[in-house]
Structure formats: structure tokens, C-alpha cells
């Protein structure tokens, strides 16, 4: 079945540091890939997405490129801020007629210190 694997957390960085959170997936066909973010006490919200190979999703300084050859969708940001502290989830959906279910990774807790 489909699966998503994220790098183990938690991740602690200083403000303005470079961020990478690794995500790899296993799925048949051509899934759509997502990064969701969950701030403390809130629900998940979409950060960015990519729907086909070599697409780059970007939002709020975060980027991720859909790499089919390595089945990866790593999240990057050049300079993190304290306000980026949250849990980040990589996810995929194949969106076939059989379903629109999102398969989530385990989440990576990011803490950014001033």
C-alpha cells in the first residue's frame, strides 16, 4: 500500500538557519504530494503541493520539488523564523475513483529558537 516516510524529529534550529525535512514515498501511479503544517492547538493547514513530477510547490518561503526518480518531496526553507515552529506533515493522495484519502507521514516537530 501507499506510505510516506519522514525524517525523524524533533528538529531544533536557530533563527535564520537553513531547513530541510526529508520525505520519501511509496505509491503506485502518479500521486499528488503535499506538505501540511500544524501549529500548536490548531488543525492542519496546507503549506504547499505538487501534482506531477518535477513540479515545485512553494509558499511562505518554503519549497519542495516532486522527484519521481527518487520518490522524494523534501521540504526546504532558506531562513527559518521562530514563527515557523510547528509540526510538518508530508502526505500523498492518488485521488483515484476509489478514493481521495491522504496518506500522512509521521510528522516532524520543528522548533526554531531566537
Partner 1 sequence: DAGVIQSPRHEVTEMGQEVTLRCKPISGHDYLFWYRQTMMRGLELLIYFNNNVPIDDSGMPEDRFSAKMPNASFSTLKIQPSEPRDSAVYFCASSFSTPDTQYFGPGTRLTVL
Q: Using CB under 8 A as the criterion, which residues of the chain lie in contact with partner 1 when the complex forms?
A: 31-32, 34, 36, 41-46, 49, 51, 89, 93-96, 99-102, 104, 106-107
Least distance (Å) from partner 1 to the CB of residue 45? 7
Least distance (Å) from partner 1 to the CB of residue 99? 5
Least distance (Å) from partner 1 to the CB of residue 103? 8
**Nearest to partner 1 of 19, 50 (CB atom):** 50
**Nearest to partner 1 of 85, 103 (CB atom):** 103
- CA–CA separation, 113 and 10 (whole Å): 13
Those residues whose C-beta lies under 8 Å from the C-beta of residue 19, and which sit 6 or more positions away, are 11, 13, 75, 76, 77, 80, 84, 110
- CA–chain centroid gap for 94, Å, is 16
Task: Find, among 34, 55, 30, the residue nearest to 107 by Cα.
Answer: 34
Amino acid at each position: 500500500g501507499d506510505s510516506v516516510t519522514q525524517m525523524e524529529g524533533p528538529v531544533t534550529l536557530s533563527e535564520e538557519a537553513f531547513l530541510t525535512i526529508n520525505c520519501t514515498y511509496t505509491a503506485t501511479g502518479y500521486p499528488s504530494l503535499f506538505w501540511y503544517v500544524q501549529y500548536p492547538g490548531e488543525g492542519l493547514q496546507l503549506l504547499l503541493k505538487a501534482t506531477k513530477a518535477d513540479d515545485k510547490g512553494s509558499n511562505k518561503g518554503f519549497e519542495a520539488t516532486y522527484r519521481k526518480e527518487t520518490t522524494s518531496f523534501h521540504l526546504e526553507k532558506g531562513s527559518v523564523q521562530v514563527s515557523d515552529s510547528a509540526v510538518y506533515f508530508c502526505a500523498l493522495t492518488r485521488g483515484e475513483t476509489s478514493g481521495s484519502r491522504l496518506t500522512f507521514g509521521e510528522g516532524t516537530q520543528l522548533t526554531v529558537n531566537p
